[in-house]
């Protein structure tokens, strides 16, 4: 990786020297060796920065988990040349069990996981690494609509009824935490379908998790095969660090006939490459301290699918501080008209551009324009044949480098845990009340006076918005525009979030919602307000980058859901848990003093979606005309 920095002001060179003066790489390797020989018992976070930022501790500051597997798996791999063949043998055993039991080949994979247990699979699929294997579906939502769309697509492609095609499906459950419940929800519903059709599901289900976790408690008694996540038998990786070197990453790649030996070897970076990663980390750190903490990421077209994985890696790792954050901007094309001039103090962007020889580069003309205009910019140039795993490991070192400079633990996720705990309480209340709509919290939301219906299709609600909202003589788009102005004009908010709690990957209505939100992102946020905005689906974003939104703040979250939810009666699958997650997201944000509003759609019919599209167009019009 060849790194070039432009407009490196304030200079980050002296910051980079810290890594050399402190012998950080040598310190990492020495700490790893010490743990291998002596374990965790005598580690003292108070005496060692590396322990504080890369390990988990209990309430008494005792180290309970070393999370530096993100680095030492690459080092260990050099001592274990048998790992690639070992993975392939395991995959062949799984294929053979399905064939022996059902007399059919493995043709489909449903991967149930959240956040770091899922984003790498989505990336591999988008960049084309899974084309030669069984078709893989990422089930990273508890919305029945997603599972329903996945099963419908499998039936359509196979031209077989569900009971005939389920024997050809491998279901993988993956959870990196003890209390991760979403994979359990999905595996339990899929298990019911196998039971309903009297299909032996034992050969078709495997899972990766910790002993005693909720997933283990569900899958173990049913005789499902538990697979150790790490090839070294350890538990030293956070979810977002499970790629590129754990079985959670290698299994789908191996099924698709990728060369695992090359993939693994590419993760061993040279000293010069690690220095380049930490030089980039120093640049981003100093730019962030100067207020330029929105990093626009520009990737080769063929690797565009790596953007969200990169975003999660940065934001979930580094989004915990009220004072310092780094926002990764993805999914937008460079457009100078949407940016504040670099001559103005409120300009808060920096650009990171990656080119790989042989791949379609980001727009070089736009990159040159940004550089000439004076925007801080870093370029990375990789040689022909560079593997995605090499880029991923490079980014791991960059994220660690920023964390080291900020003294920030990059392996925990406290804000995600807050949202999960609230969801658990809500779901428990829903079970007792006979449905989430019957809970006190849901009723309070639904009956709040802080909401406006618009054109019979949508309802804008600001019941958890802390600031006063002027509604006199205003319709819903004008009220929403007023909220935007109240936050963005004084820069109390610096970026937006548009999140639809539903499936935007497989179902046709959800795809239409995402297109509407993409238009709204450009029309309302980027063009009118000149701020970046995230567009994604929930609850996937809660496990991908919400650590930054809840932990660092300075965002207006707009969360959307349809009042008409899907069900899968044959699997006993309702939207109760999913709807609890929608409400819990708002509650977690409000509890941390973050700005959030919601939009509830009557349904996902074309007429309703047309109203939603018009709502954002009218909002933009109000902003342009100064009516808000």
The CATH architecture assigned to 414-625 reads: 3-Layer(aba) Sandwich (3.40)
3-class DSSP state for residue 210? coil
Strands 495-501 and 555-562: parallel
Per the CB < 8 A criterion, the answer to whether 214 and 178 are in contact is yes
Domains 2-13+269-406 and 80-265 share a fold: yes
Strand order in the sheet with 555-562: 451-454, 458-461, 595-601, 555-562, 495-501, 533-538
How much is the pTM?
0.96
Q: Which residues of the chain have pLDDT under 50?
A: 628
Q: What is the pLDDT of residues 49-87, one digit of tens each?
A: 999 999 999 988 899 999 999 999 999 999 999 999 999
Between CA 118 and CA 125, with CA 124 as vertex, the angle to 5 degrees is 90
Q: What local confidence, expressed as pLDDT, does residue 598 receive?
A: 98
Q: What local confidence, expressed as pLDDT, does residue 626 receive?
A: 62
Partners of residue 173 on adjacent β-strands: 112, 207
Q: What local confidence, expressed as pLDDT, does residue 627 receive?
A: 53
Note the residue count of the chain.
628
What Cα–Cα distance (Å) separates residue 345 from each residue in 340, 341, 342, 348, 560?
Answer: 9, 9, 7, 8, 34
Between CA 357 and CA 364, with CA 361 as vertex, the angle to 5 degrees is 120
Residue 102, token pair as written in the block: 């059902």
Partners of residue 453 on adjacent β-strands: 459
Q: Which residues lie closer than 8 Å to 422 by C-beta, 6 or more apart?
A: 584, 587, 588, 591
Closest among 139, 141, 111, 72 to 248, alpha carbons compared: 111
The CATH architecture assigned to 2-13+269-406 reads: 3-Layer(aba) Sandwich (3.40)
How many Cβ atoms sit within 10 Å of the Cβ of residue 385?
11
Q: What is the pLDDT of residues 560-569, one digit of tens each?
A: 999 999 999 9
Per the CB < 8 A criterion, the answer to whether 576 and 181 are in contact is no
What are the E-state strand segments in 482-529? 495-501
Closest among 465, 500, 499 to 482, alpha carbons compared: 465
Q: What is the DSSP string of 424-439?
A: HHHHHHHHHHTSGGGS
Q: What local confidence, expressed as pLDDT, does residue 239 receive?
A: 87
Where exactly are the structural domains of the chain? 2-13+269-406, 80-265, 414-625
- CA 87 – CA 80 distance, rounded (Å): 12
Per the CB < 8 A criterion, the answer to whether 590 and 464 are in contact is yes
The CATH architecture assigned to 80-265 reads: 3-Layer(aba) Sandwich (3.40)
Q: What local confidence, expressed as pLDDT, does residue 414 receive?
A: 85
Angle formed by the axes of helices 247-255 and 83-102, to 10°?
60
Provide the 8-state DSSP code for 141. -
- CA 303 – CA 301 distance, rounded (Å): 5
Per the CB < 8 A criterion, the answer to whether 146 and 185 are in contact is no
- CA 367 – CA 333 distance, rounded (Å): 11
């Amino acid at each position: 990786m060849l790194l070039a920095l432009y407009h490196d002001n304030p200079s980050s060179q002296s910051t980079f020297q810290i890594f050399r003066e402190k012998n950080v790489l040598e310190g990492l390797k020495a700490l790893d060796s010490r743990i291998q020989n002596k374990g965790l018992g005598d580690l003292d976070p108070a005496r060692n920065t590396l322990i504080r930022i890369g390990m988990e501790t209990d309430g008494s500051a005792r180290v309970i988990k070393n999370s530096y597997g993100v680095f030492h798996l690459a080092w260990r791999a050099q001592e274990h040349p048998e790992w690639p063949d070992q993975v392939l043998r395991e995959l062949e055993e799984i294929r053979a069990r399905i064939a022996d039991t059902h007399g059919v080949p493995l043709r489909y994979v449903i991967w149930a996981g959240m956040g770091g247990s899922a984003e790498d699979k989505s990336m591999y699929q988008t960049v084309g690494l899974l084309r030669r294997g069984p078709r893989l579906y990422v089930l990273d939502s508890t919305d029945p609509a997603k599972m329903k769309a996945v099963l419908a697509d499998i039936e359509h492609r196979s031209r077989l009824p569900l009971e005939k095609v389920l024997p050809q499906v491998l279901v993988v459950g993956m959870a990196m935490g003890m209390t991760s419940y979403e994979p359990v929800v999905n595996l339990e519903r899929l298990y019911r379908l196998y039971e309903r059709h009297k299909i032996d599901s034992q050969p078709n289900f495997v899972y990766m998790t910790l002993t005693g976790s909720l997933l283990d408690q569900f899958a173990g008694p049913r005789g499902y095969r538990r697979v150790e996540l790490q090839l070294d038998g350890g538990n030293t990786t956070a979810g977002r660090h499970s790629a590129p070197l754990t079985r959670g990453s290698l299994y789908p790649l191996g099924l698709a006939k990728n060369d695992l030996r090359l993939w693994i070897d590419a993760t061993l970076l040279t000293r010069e490459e690690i220095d380049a990663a930490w030089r980039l980390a120093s640049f981003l750190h100093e730019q962030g301290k100067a207020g330029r903490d929105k990093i626009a990421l520009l990737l080769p077209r063929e690797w565009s699918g790596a953007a969200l994985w990169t975003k999660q890696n940065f934001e979930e790792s580094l989004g915990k501080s009220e004072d310092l954050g780094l926002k990764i901007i993805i999914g937008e094309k460079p457009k100078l008209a949407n940016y504040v001039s670099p001559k103005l103090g409120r300009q808060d962007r920096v650009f990171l551009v990656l080119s790989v020889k042989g791949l379609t580069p980001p727009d070089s003309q736009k990159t040159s324009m940004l550089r000439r205009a004076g925007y801080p910019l870093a370029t990375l140039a990789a040689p022909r044949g560079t593997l995605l795993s090499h880029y991923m490991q490079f980014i791991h070192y960059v994220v660690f480098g920023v964390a080291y400079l900020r003294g920030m633990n990059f392996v925990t996720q406290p804000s995600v845990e807050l949202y999960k705990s609230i969801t658990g309480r809500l779901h428990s209340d829903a079970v007792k009340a006979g449905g989430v709509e019957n809970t006190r919290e849901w009723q309070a939301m639904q009956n709040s006076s802080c909401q406006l219906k618009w054109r019979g299709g949508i309802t804008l609600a600001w019941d958890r918005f802390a600031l006063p909202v002027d509604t006199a003589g205003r319709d819903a788009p004008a009220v929403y525009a007023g909220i935007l102005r109240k936050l963005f004009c004084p820069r109390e908010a610096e970026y937006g979030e548009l999140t639809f709690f539903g499936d935007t990957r497989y179902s046709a209505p959800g795809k239409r919602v995402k297109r509407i939100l993409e238009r709204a992102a450009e029309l309302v946020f980027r063009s009118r307000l000149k701020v970046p905005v995230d567009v994604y689906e929930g609850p996937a974003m809660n496990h991908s980058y919400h650590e930054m939104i809840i932990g660092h703040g300075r965002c207006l979250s707009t969360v959307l859901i349809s009042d008409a939810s899907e069900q899968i009666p044959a699997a006993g699958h309702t939207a109760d848990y999913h709807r609890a997650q929608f409400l819990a997201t708002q509650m977690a944000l409000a509890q941390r003093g973050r700005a959030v509003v919601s939009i509830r759609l009557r349904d996902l019919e074309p007429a309703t979606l047309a109203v939603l599209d018009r709502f954002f167009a009218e909002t933009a019009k109000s902003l342009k005309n100064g009516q808000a």
